[in-house]
Chains A and B, each alone.
Chain A
Amino acid sequence: MSQTQVPEPLVTSEATHGEPLVSVENLTKHFPVRRGIIFQRQVAAVQAVQDVTFSIYPGETLGLVGESGCGKSTTARLIARLLNPTSGRIVFDGQDITKLSSRRMRPFRRDIQMIFQDPYASLNPRQSVGQIIGAPFAIHHTEGDTRKRVRDLMDRVGLNPEHYNRYPHEFSGGQRQRIGVARALALRPKLIICDEPVSALDVSIQAQILNLLEDLQDEFNLTYLFISHDLGVVRHISDRIAVMYLGHLVELATADELYERPRHPYTAALLSAVPKGRAGARVTNRIVLQGDVPSPVNPPSGCPFHPRCPKARLVGNGEVPENCRNELPPLGEVETNHVAACWYPLEPGEELERMAHA
């Protein structure tokens, strides 16, 4: 499978230079499905992440999009080493961290931080804000005045330092997310993985948090892996965007390129759901995909998207072509700085909605 992967770096933008901060190579995660009460045996596997390869460069924001259940969070948790990959490699700052023990992983934990989706569940309800934001210092036995540092952090993310002793439930959703941002920022990490950091928030609050994240990125030279299913948000914040479908990376390009010239039919379908003009989607009519996302326990053969793909049906005159059904398309360069995994990628400017009705 690995020979189908294109060598890195392939897709670059103004924001990508130097050595990658993080590279994942052929990253795969299968969750075993077990049956039986005492003698559990594995009956199947959820193929949550399947042979994913990409890099994140210092200072950039890589967006990661895809429908619910396509493996975005799993990818994030693999990079943060909260899960162990089934196979593949994770290289951080030039060092292979794939198999580090939790003790050897500790120094890297300072450099890799996460911001979580749910600002309620991600803060311990029984700890005060001071304890929550101070935890990174306590865990890493940092010298110095923790209290002052926490107050400075609170101030920096737009919280009132006077609220040091308050509990999470006393704050609104947006403020809680600021607490989460402060905690992630505490140890001055290199990489912050934002797993849908604004999805749970009110629209007006979303923008404030996004602006905060952008400001912090400039100020502290942060690198973001930014996960979202909201394409408007992702386009706004990302330098490059990766699209996942059913555990596979299906397309990767710079943000503008991806939005203006999506080459994978799935990306085009996703973008067509974004109202016109706003996020710059050029496809006018929404492409209604047929059927549901297949189960990752029993993914389709060949291209994972083929059962729902409007383009494949068009190419095969109503029938899905042989290679779509049987062969996994490699992630190949369709243009400079643009890769897609499709046997029949769209031509730039190709109208998909007409094909969907063809």
Chain B
Amino acid sequence: MGQTASDAIVAAEHGAVVEQEGVRGRSPWQLFWYRFRQDKLALTGLIIIVLLGVLAAIAPLISHGIVHHGPNQLFSNTMLTQGGIPKGPNGQFWFGADSAGRDLFVRVLYGTQTSLEVAVIATGFAVLIGTVIGLIAGYFGGAIDTLLSRTMDVVLSMPLLLFAIGIVAACSTTIQGCPIGPLHLTPGLPIVIFVIALFSWPYIGRIVRGNTLSLAQKEFVEAARSLGASNARIMFREIFPNLVAPILVYSSLIVPSNIIFEASLSYLGLGVPQSIPSWGRELSDASDWFTVAWWMLVFPGFFLVLTTLSFNLLGDGLRDALDPRTGR
């Protein structure tokens, strides 16, 4: 080492060493997109999610403009038999009817809206809370970390369905719901979103904490500190940009479980109110009828599986593309 380095010094002083360093490569996002594009499954997942999102967004257009059926419109005369058994798919009712004689296609279409809305909003809150708490825990460490990490452990170890049922049931007894601090949880969507966010932020919190813990040891953080950067600046300007990738991956992975969560609550009759179509509620409806009305189980079930599967494929693809070390 000593010899070669000093040789080079001497050489450089005589102008013998020319800078041979070229600039190469692309921006991190270009690289990411390049890798992501190779992953056909993830790409398929993304396309399906986009299509579902578009479907959800234009659900009213389709239902009123094309099939001319509203989500809560009853067709008991045409779509239920004398004995009250729903009729199956036909040219007018593409997915058949549900037990009340409503158009199942329109119900499922609006159910897409509900599922995506609840899951995405709840995931958004979970990401917000999880990121802030995870950053604080990982960055400050010590007693703060112990407190916040144990809190996350406790939340994660709670039997969530049991607690969710308890909270939703307790808050749904009156129209006022539960005032929790500044939050005013009214029955219906707000409380469902609250419960889902409450139980899913620790997943993001843990990931963010772990990543922050290792990022805080990096020399670039020390460099920022030596420049006199404040803790807030270090957390949000230095560390946070490095957390975007893992946050993206894990949020795309908790969206499907949150969709299932909403469906489960609705299945149990605790989710969104009767008037709002939901896959979970359709499925619970189907449990009494599927022996004679297979479509009631198959169509909502298919959409539920398709959506969760697509999100999982997307999440896996994002992870592989953003972090080549775990990749193929």
Q: Which of B213-253 contact A (CB under 8 A)?
A: 218-220, 222-229, 233, 238, 241-242, 244
A171-B23 CB under 8 A given contacts A207-B11, A207-B12: yes
Contact of A204 among B3, B8, B222, B228 (CB under 8 A): B8
Q: What residues of B have a CB within 8 angstroms of the CB of A187 in the complex?
A: 227
B25 adjacent to A121 (CB under 8 Å): no
A127 beta carbon closer than 8 Å to chain B: yes
A203 to B28, CA, bound (A): 29
Q: From B1, B7, B21, give the contact of A230 (CB < 8 A).
A: B1
Of A116, A123, A211, A232, which contacts B3 at CB under 8 A? A232
List, in ascending order, chain A residues with CB within 8 A of B226's CB: 80, 82, 109, 112-114
A151 at the binding interface (Cβ < 8 Å): no
Asked if B28 and A121 sit within 8 Å, CB to CB, the answer is: no
Asked if B5 lies at the interface with its beta carbon under 8 angstroms from chain A, I say: yes
A68 within 8 A of B: no
Contacts of A175 in B (CB 8 A): 21, 23
Cβ–Cβ contact B227 & A210, under 8 A = no
Query: Given A106-B228, A172-B22, does the pair A206, B223 have CB atoms closer than 8 Å?
Result: no
Bound: A125/B322 CA distance, A: 13
Contact A167 B242 (CB under 8 A): no
| Closest residue on chain A to residue B150 by CB atoms | A38
Which A residues are CB-close (under 8 A) to B222? 77, 82, 114, 116, 122
Query: Chain B residues with Cβ under 8 A from A80's Cβ?
Result: 226
- Is the CB–CB distance between A122 and B19 below 8 Å? no
Contacts of B241 in A (CB 8 A): 124, 126-127
User: Quick check: B4 and A172 within 8 Å, CB to CB?
Assistant: no
B2 touches A275 (CB 8 A): yes
Closest to A108 in B: B228
A279 to B27, CA, bound (A): 42
Interfacial chain A residues near B27, Cβ < 8 Å = 166-167, 170
Q: In this complex, which of B7, B23, B224 has the most chain A Cβ atoms within 10 angstroms of its Cβ?
A: B23
Question: Which residues of chain A from 109 to 140 have a CB within 8 Å of any chain B CB?
Answer: 109-110, 112-114, 116-118, 121-127, 135-136, 139-140
- With A126-B242, A171-B23 in contact, do A208 and B12 touch (Cβ < 8 Å)? yes
Give min CB distance, A130 to chain B, whole Å. 13
Please tell me the number of chain A residues within 8 Å of chain B, measured between CB atoms: 61
A139 touching B227 by the CB < 8 A rule? yes
Task: Tell me the B1-51 residues at the A interface (CB within 8 Å).
Answer: 1-9, 11-13, 17, 19-28
- Which residues 171-192 of A sit at the B interface, judged by CB distance below 8 A? 171-175, 180, 183, 187
> Is A70 positioned at the interface, with any CB of B under 8 Å from its CB?
no
Q: Residue of B at shortest CB range from A235?
A: B6
Q: How far apart are B234's CB and chain A's nearest CB, in angstroms? A: 10
Asked whether A136 and B227 contact (CB < 8 A) given A124-B238, A207-B9, the answer is yes
Q: What residues of B have a CB within 8 angstroms of the CB of A105 in the complex?
A: 228
Known: A127-B241, A166-B23. A275 touches B3 (CB 8 A): yes
Contacts of B11 in A (CB 8 A): 204, 207
Contacts A203-B4, A230-B5 given; does A116 touch B223 at CB 8 Å: yes
Q: Are B227 and A279 in contact (CB under 8 A)?
A: no
Question: Which chain B residues in 165-217 approach chain A with CB under 8 Å?
Answer: none
Q: For the complex, what is the distance from the CA of A147 to the CA of B196, rounded to whole Å?
A: 45
- Is A158's beta carbon under 8 Å from chain B? yes
List, in ascending order, chain A residues with CB within 8 A of B227's CB: 109, 113, 135-136, 139-140, 183, 187
Q: Which of A78-100 contact B (CB under 8 A)?
A: 80, 82
Q: How far is the CA of A170 from the CA of B26 in the complex (A)?
A: 7
User: Would you call A41 an interface residue if the criterion is a C-beta within 8 Å of the partner chain's C-beta atoms?
Assistant: no
A236 within 8 A of B: yes
Closest residue of chain B to A122 (Cβ to Cβ) is B219
A114-B222, A126-B241, A170-B23 provided; 18 other pairs, C-beta below 8 A? Answer: A38-B146, A122-B219, A124-B241, A139-B227, A139-B233, A169-B25, A173-B21, A183-B227, A204-B12, A204-B17, A205-B21, A207-B17, A211-B12, A230-B1, A230-B2, A230-B5, A279-B2, A279-B6
Residues in chain A within 8 A of chain B (CB atoms): 38, 77, 80, 82, 102, 105-106, 109-110, 112-114, 116-118, 121-127, 135-136, 139-140, 158, 160, 163, 166-167, 169-175, 180, 183, 187, 198, 203-208, 210-211, 230-233, 235-236, 273-275, 278-279
Q: List 6 A-B contacts (CB under 8 A).
A: A82-B225, A113-B227, A127-B238, A170-B25, A173-B21, A207-B9
